[in-house]
Amino acid sequence: MKKEIVLKPHFVRKSTHYALEDSNVPKELYSVINEKPELEDFPAPLPSKKSDYTCSVKVGNVLWLGAETGLTRYDPDAEYSFDKVLYFSADRDLKDNKVSAILPDGDGVWVKTETAVTHIELPVYSAKEVSDILLAETLKYVQRHSMVSHKYLARPGEHDSILPYGSCDNDGGFTSQFCLAEIYRYSVLKKEKGADDPETLEALKVAKRALDASVLLMYIHGRGNGFVSRTYSTADEPLPDDGLFFRRQGNKAVALDTSESRERGIVGLEVDCSAPVPDRLKYLYEEDGYTLDDIYFKCDTSSDEITLQVLNLLFAHKELGCDDPELDEFIKVTTENIVSHIIDNGFTLVDYSGEPTTWARWDEPYFNSEDGWVDAALNSAELLFYLKAVMEITGETGRWKETYDRLVYERGYADLPLEHDNRLYQISLHDGMDPAEEIMYGDHWLATASLFGLCYLEKDEELLGKYRRAFGTWRGSIEREHDAALDFLYLVACPGEEVDEERVKEWFMRANISRLAAGVSLIGRHDIPVKTLRCGYKETSTLLPQDEKFISKYDRNPLQYKNVDSGGLMCVESCYVYTLSYWMGRYFGFIREGEYE
């Protein structure tokens, strides 16, 4: 983008549901006579089949259309083309999709469906207000031991039914992304409002806590060697049957009984965990009354954790460390420990067993193996990024530079990222799949973080050119997402490139005001073609706006033709998907707030 995008305040969807006979429902709704709409030659695609529309009401030029398959709003005068047609569906917007009556109410409507009445409002918020609301929801409902991923519900769609436990995988990575958003927020607010402004101070506080929470994962296992746990839980939380967990018991940690540990034959295995947790981090579990003996941590960490943590540490150093030397020193030591661990262990992350974990390998033997050959394009960039980041954070070169130079100039690591697209495609040929079926969506963030980091930090023009070209090899699949944060980092890394401004606006303006999973109706939508890939995976032919598709973290195919949120209906997700994009966009100057009209 060549110019800053102005995000004008925009409506968001707000649905309030009532029982059919609730006294708060306007009585006129039950007697209103809505005409069956005449839709021949309708000038826009409609989400429901035309013959399914049974009732309509016009307010000014805005037409509300009720169907057996949901509610449609058509505004021919909408400022943005993406606002012309809106689709409201169950469960997120309506209780069910069978609309039988519509009563106008300002910019919104009362809607009677088969099982309930829903009051739909379209209040206008600025992008920052949306960000603040989402942040507040996350801080209130999603945090778990200050880690930010998602939490479960007892009843779908009800915040009040929140359970005290939630996700137990890659918490460090997700928390790092949340933290990064808060670091950017702090930096922007500090510049705009001053360091002492209460909002700035609040942002700093949230950022530091999140940083501590993610860094704690490097110490919680008690090995003291720079290894990073995926997550940890406390004894009063259920043990997920998903991976390897060790329960701390004094200076020993014992492998818990899960399918994975049974398969590996390590149930009951004791490992050393005597290395201390730094004092500055203990508050994270002690404030809730826990001790180290209450904790069980997860092993078999993937490179995801490391990459997202290192990106976070890079900006924590840059934006938080400058005002807090003690914190900065802690960041330096943390980064050094992680990267040292990787170098000292032959470019792998070594688990309790002394063997590399399954998915944290940046070594040539792995790259030359059948499993690692495709990963080499990403993992080589990751490792180079860690080395550039540790040099930047520590201000030192030494073994970091020596390793970096060796990998770049002797081992060809800077060339491997250029191979990403070719290798992915070749694998798809080998497997008889569509390339789209081979995409790991989580890799988009890892590639963007690594290649952004390399382009951001590398000064050598030749290497910079390689990294930028390598970034280009990823864009074909990354652009499928139109995630604003991924686009912004690409634009910082590759200043001559462009992204579609309209898509960026749509991404922000058509966001959800809550990350509460509720589900939307997608299957059966009449305006969305479905494409079946070679091995049967179904995708939509167009990327839907966020308020009409499922809610997920960063690691899902946004084109998937499913009408369920990625975490299922029983959860509330973290806000970082939105807040990171928003504050990153502000931080790098891609977006700014427009005025209320």
Binding positions for another protein, rule: CB under 8 A: 40-46, 49-51, 81, 368, 373, 419, 421-422, 425-426, 429-430, 435, 476, 479, 500, 502-503, 526-532, 541-543
The two beta strands, 270-272 and 252-255, are antiparallel
CA-based nearest residue to 330, from 202, 195, 219 = 219
Q: Which is nearer to another protein, 193 or 503 (CB)?
A: 503
Q: Which two tokens stand for residue 299?
A: 């092993």
Q: How far is the CB of 476 from another protein (least distance, A)?
A: 4
Q: Which is nearer to another protein, 84 or 264 (CB)?
A: 84
Q: Which is nearer to another protein, 165 or 425 (CB)?
A: 425
Q: How far is the CB of 558 from another protein (least distance, A)?
A: 11
Q: How far is the CB of 503 from another protein (least distance, A)?
A: 7
CA-based nearest residue to 169, from 244, 234, 222 = 244
Question: What distance in Å separates the CA atoms of residue 561 and residue 530, rounded to the nearest whole number?
Answer: 7
Q: How far is the CB of 78 from another protein (least distance, A)?
A: 13
Q: Which is nearer to another protein, 154 or 429 (CB)?
A: 429
Q: How far is the CB of 1 from another protein (least distance, A)?
A: 13
Spatial neighbors of 260 by CB under 8 A, at least 6 apart, are 241, 242, 243, 244, 300
Q: How far is the CB of 471 from another protein (least distance, A)?
A: 15
Q: Which is nearer to another protein, 398 or 529 (CB)?
A: 529
Q: How far is the CB of 344 from another protein (least distance, A)?
A: 28
Question: What distance in Å separates the CA atoms of residue 110 and residue 323, rounded to the nearest whole number?
Answer: 52
Q: How far is the CB of 113 from another protein (least distance, A)?
A: 23
Q: How far is the CB of 587 from another protein (least distance, A)?
A: 25
Q: How far is the CB of 164 from another protein (least distance, A)?
A: 41
User: In what order do the strands lie in the sheet containing 571-573?
Assistant: 162-166, 150-153, 571-573
Q: Which is nearer to another protein, 72 or 200 (CB)?
A: 72
Question: What distance in Å separates the CA atoms of residue 190 and residue 179, rounded to the nearest whole number?
Answer: 16
- Tokens 């003996």 -> residue: 293
The two beta strands, 117-121 and 14-18, are antiparallel
Is residue 573 classed exposed, middle or buried when 0-12, 13-18 and 19+ CB atoms within 10 A define those classes? Answer: buried
Question: What distance in Å separates the CA atoms of residue 212 and residue 383, rounded to the nearest whole number?
Answer: 23
Q: In the 3-class helix/strand/coil scheme, how is 528-555 assigned residue by residue?
A: CCEEECCCCCEEECCCCCHHHCCCCCCC
Question: What distance in Å separates the CA atoms of residue 182 and residue 317, rounded to the nearest whole number?
Answer: 13
Q: Which is nearer to another protein, 437 or 479 (CB)?
A: 479
Which of helix, strand or coil describes residue 209?
helix
Q: Which is nearer to another protein, 52 or 182 (CB)?
A: 52
- 411-435 burial, b for 16+ CB within 10 Å, e for fewer? eebbebbbbbbebbeeebeeeebbb
Spatial neighbors of 78 by CB under 8 A, at least 6 apart, are 84
Q: How far is the CB of 87 from another protein (least distance, A)?
A: 11
Question: What distance in Å separates the CA atoms of residue 205 and residue 195, rounded to the nearest whole number?
Answer: 12
Q: Which is nearer to another protein, 318 or 503 (CB)?
A: 503
Question: What distance in Å separates the CA atoms of residue 359 and residue 307, rounded to the nearest whole number?
Answer: 12
Question: What distance in Å separates the CA atoms of residue 182 and residue 273, rounded to the nearest whole number?
Answer: 32
Q: Which is nearer to another protein, 227 or 507 (CB)?
A: 507
Q: Which is nearer to another protein, 237 or 421 (CB)?
A: 421
The upper half-sphere exposure of residue 593, i.e. CA atoms within 13 Å in the direction of its Cβ, equals: 15
Question: What distance in Å separates the CA atoms of residue 230 and residue 144, rounded to the nearest whole number?
Answer: 14
Q: How far is the CB of 66 from another protein (least distance, A)?
A: 17
Question: What distance in Å separates the CA atoms of residue 387 and residue 399, rounded to the nearest whole number?
Answer: 9
Q: Which is nearer to another protein, 194 or 529 (CB)?
A: 529
